[in-house]
Structure formats: C-alpha cells, structure tokens
Amino acid sequence: MNTWKHTNELDFMLMGLTDSKDIQLALSVLFLLIYMVTVLGNLGMILIIRLDVQLDTPMYFFLTHLSFLDLSYSTVITPKTIENLLTSIKNISFMGCFIQLYFFVLLAAAECFILSSMAYDRYVAICNPLHYPVIMSTRRSHALITVSYMIGAMDSSVTVFCLSTLNFCNSKVIHHFFCDTFPILALSCSDTYDAEATIFILAGSTLLLSLITISSSYVSILSTILKINSSSGKHKAFSTCASHLLGVTVFYGTMIFTYLKPSKSYSLGKDQVASVFYTIVIPMLNPLIYSLRNKEVKSAVIRVVKKRESTHKLK
C-alpha cells in the first residue's frame, strides 16, 4: 500500500457537495450571495458599534468580536467552497488544508467562549445590576476575550498536530466541501484511536464547558426574571437576552449534532448539511439576529446615519 505523509507535491481533493453541474452553479450563486450579506452584515455591525458611543458597553464589545469571528471563519471556508463549485480543479495542498482546519477550529472554539462571555454579561446585568460596572470592567472584558482566543488557539493546535502526524494512504479524496476533522481521519491508514479520542475530548470539553456557563447563567437569569413583579420589567429583561439565546441555540445545535459523536457515525449527507449551516449560513444570520431583534442597535443605526447626514450638510 502506498503510504504518504505531508509533502508539498501531493494534494488533497475536496469533493464538495454534489456532482451535478447545475446544482453546483446554483449553490455557487447562493453561497456568493450569502457571503456578500455575511461580509456586509458583520462589517456593518462592527462599524455601528465602533461609531456609536452609546454602544460602548461590554455586551457590544463582545458582539464586535462575535461579528469578527463570524466574518473570519466564513472567509476561511466560503470562498474556497465557491471556487470548487465553479471550477473543475478541486485540489487543496496538504499545508493549505491544515491551515484551513487550524483557523476554522480556532475561530469556532473562540466563538463558543465569546458566546459564554456574552451569557455571563447578561447574567451580571440582570442578576447583579448595581455591581455591573465593577464586575464587567474593561479589564475583565478584555481578559475574557483574550482567554477565548487562547483556548481557540490551543484547541486548533492540538487538533492539527494530532491529524498531521497520521499517515495517509492511496486515497486523497476528502468527501466534504472543506477540510474538517472526521473526513480527514477517514483517509488515514494509521491507527486513529488516540487522535480521535483526543479531538473528541477537546471538542466535547470546549462545547460542554461553554454550554454549562451559558446554561447556568440563563437559569439564574430566568429565576431573577420570574421574581420581577411588573410585566413590562419582565418583558424588558427577556428582550435583552432573546437575541443572544436565539444565536446560541442555532450555533450549538448544529455543532453538537456534528461533533459530539464518534467518527464512525459520520453521515456524509446529514453532516454536510449541518456543516453548511454553521460555516456559511450562521455567520450571515448572527448580525441579522442581533440587529433586527435589538432596539439599541436599530437606534444606533439611525443615530449614525443622522450624524453622517448632518456632517455632510455642514460640508
């Protein structure tokens, strides 16, 4: 059996989502439109938060980084996917494949903990409002963001190391539209038990730890909200959490479905659909969720537009 490892001469092949030329063309147009909305939506969210002083709070500081992550990991996946759909050249170098995997894992893991930080922020705002400025100080907010990126970098480094040390056999065909862990593991002719166990524990720990933080925060939030006497107070408290809770549900639902299971139960069709959702669709949905369901963001957009109009008139 011909066994090879990482060389610059040998490439992987990404088989993509379908062999039908018509479907490939339709998907490429759809993904391009989604990617354009993703870029505009997330960049717009970042600019609005940066330009409006009233959004200079920890929650929107976290939201800025969430938009940056969504924009970044969509960019890691979507352009290459569109290229593969439009051309017959579906090769990706060994190095390119693992760079794509590295940044995807880093950004996805960091997003888990930034979503956790946002849940913690809502918990402090609703359950300890008088101490909020002290607890959610600028220093602590920056520390939470730094830790999120550091955990993401650790997860991605370990994942890539585990996979890059494996031997790969005759087949270089990745049955997926991007370089992900399970499809790469399937190509190896080495014993993948240790690598698979390590990756499973790492991904499981990341997802579960962040989910525990989010769940415990919302249990406390719900308990506090139920103690509020006025219906308007309850509605206001619920509205401050609704966008974040919706974003968390969509993101974690697809992630858990895809990764918290043995690689042998990997299903090409179902897992590819889930992967399309969290790599391409969710980065587009997040800015819509946090803007359309958020009165403060809507008001900030109006203030920024009016400010620019008044500045233009003065000129």
Question: Average pLDDT of 158-179?
Answer: 86
3-state class of 249 per DSSP?
helix
Listed in sequence order, the DSSP H helices in the chain are 21-51, 58-86, 94-127, 132-135, 138-164, 181-185, 193-226, 231-259, 268-276, 282-292, 295-314
Burial class for 116, CB neighbours closer than 10 Å (0-12, 13-18, 19+) = buried
- Report yes or no: 92 and 146 within 8 Å, Cβ to Cβ: no
Looking at residue 227, the DSSP 8-state letter turns out to be T
On the question of pLDDT at 186 being above 70, the answer is: yes
Yes or no: say if 182 and 20 are a contact pair by the CB < 8 Å rule: no
Spatial contact of 38 and 250, defined as CB atoms under 8 Å apart: no
Cα–Cα distance, 294 to 301 (Å, whole number): 11
Note the pLDDT of residue 233.
Answer: 66
Domain count, the chain: 1
CA distance 152 to 149: 5
CATH (domain of 286): 1.20.1070.10
Does the residue 4 lie in any domain? no
Mean pLDDT of 263-286: 74
Q: Is the pLDDT of residue 198 over 50?
A: yes
In a domain, 272, yes or no: yes
Residue 6 located in a structural domain: no
> Is residue 282 in a domain?
yes
Picking from 118-127, 190-199, 213-222, 255-264, which range would have the lowest pLDDT averaged per residue?
255-264
Does the pTM exceed 0.75? yes
Residue 151 inside a domain? The answer is yes
**pLDDT at site 134:** 93
How far apart are the C-alpha atoms of 14 and 79, rounded to whole Å? 13
Q: Reply yes or no on whether the pLDDT at 236 is more than 80.
A: no
Length of the chain equals 315
Domain that holds residue 112: 11-314
Q: With bands split at pLDDT 50, 70 and 90, how would you rate the model's confidence at 121?
A: very high
Q: CA 196, CA 78: separation in Å to the nearest integer?
A: 26
Over residues 70-78, the mean pLDDT reads 93
* Residue 1 lies inside a defined structural domain of this protein: no
For 277-295, the pLDDT digits (tens) are 888 988 998 888 877 656 6
